[in-house]
Amino acid sequence: MAPAALPDPSRLLPELLGVLMPMFLWLDASGRVQAAGPTLRKVCGRALRPGVSLFDLIEITRPQRMTGMADLRAHGLRRLHLALRARPRTGLRGIAVPLGPEVGPDVGPEQEGGVLLNLSFGLTVAEAVRDHALTDSDFAPTDLTVEMLYLIEAKSAVMGELRGLNLRLERAHRSAVAEALTDPLTGLANRRALELALESAVQSGGRDEAAPFALVHLDLDFFKQVNDTHGHAAGDAVLTEVARILQAETRKHDLVARVGGDEFVLVLRGMTDPAAIEALGRRIIARLEAPMPVGSGIATISGSLGVVLSVDYPVPAPERMLADADRALYASKHRGRAGVTVLRVESGI
């Protein structure tokens, strides 16, 4: 049963009605627009003109199959879902109030049985504000939409700041971790990074696994003379150049660490051929022995290397392997320096 008709709002000036309901449509009995609220006029533009049919201006999406004023009047006082036909097809919500005929000199036959339709944006309000450049003055004084939009924008801004802060904290954390694992002079891994790499390599690189590795301990020869002759700044320059050479001679997935003043350790993943490792060591020594310009002078150094292989250990242990690599290193030094010694654990040096 259709709801009781309400009196015609014609005695209320459209300007005043627009203050209370800035998105109203006053329709006559045939569904043609007699007056409209200022915000709706702003949103619809030229499409909204006196006498235009409601159904040419707006599509009623729910309930479906509402094609005439009789349907609209029958659905009065219940929620409607609508959309503007013109792009960007702004979504709307509304309620239709049937207007009954009144007797009086101001009421013409074209006003009898009309409908007062009050509209709002509903969940599409943010898009509507953006698409139609709406401001606070486009909403009723009692409408909290703008305040809600401000709160949403403030929340978005805060969330953006929090995301930015989290990213900065994450970057700072990564930077701190990297600094904690990096030698500040050379940019190589430090002793702590070496320990972590060896723990990982041992867990996945034992005798029966598919990821064996070689451990190489390098100690520079004649480095003390560089410091004594040219000064510590020259020594730092030499160490930096040594780091560059070691990185150039190894692969990206290998680890090069500086573990002491002039001591370096290499973890060569997947390398177990003593001949290939010895050839690599000789290339490194040859590059180390090339004269290095330092300030106004020339530094001359060399290097001694000791090597052990993870496959020679029933259960590889970092401490044992480092100790054995150190033994192999000093075997190279005792043999006259500038050499490579590969220690095969089962047979000794």
Give me the number of domains the chain comprises.
3
Among 161, 180, 199, residue at a domain's last position: 180
Q: Give me the mean pLDDT over the 124-148 stretch.
A: 85
Work out the mean pLDDT of the chain and round it to a whole number.
87
Residue 178: what pLDDT? 77
Question: Annotated catalytic, 326?
Answer: no
Tell me the per-residue pLDDT of 279-304, one tens digit each, with 9 for 90 and over.
Answer: 999 999 999 999 999 988 899 999 99
Tell me the per-residue pLDDT of 49-90, one tens digit each, with 9 for 90 and over.
Answer: 989 999 999 999 999 888 888 888 888 889 999 999 988 889
Residue 326: what pLDDT? 96
Residue 65: what pLDDT? 86
Are 101 and 131 within one domain? Answer: yes
Catalytic residue among 262, 312, 324, 326, which?
Answer: 262
pTM: 0.56
With respect to residue 298, please indicate whether it lies within any of the assigned structural domains: yes
DSSP letter string, 132-177: HT--GGGS-TT--HHHHHHHHHHHHHHHHHHHHHHHHHHHHHHHHH
Among 113, 141, 169, residue at a domain's last position: 141
Are 197 and 172 within one domain? Answer: no
Nearest CA among 318, 89, 146 for reference residue 215: 318
Contacts 24+ apart (CB under 8 A), 233-240: 233/295, 234/294, 234/295, 234/297, 234/299, 236/185, 237/292, 237/294, 237/295, 237/299, 238/292, 238/294, 238/299, 238/301, 239/185, 239/186, 240/185, 240/186
Range of the domain at 154: 144-180
13-17, 83-87, 219-223: least confident range: 13-17
Which has more confidence, 60 or 14?
A: 60
Are 148 and 62 within one domain? Answer: no
Are 125 and 204 within one domain? Answer: no
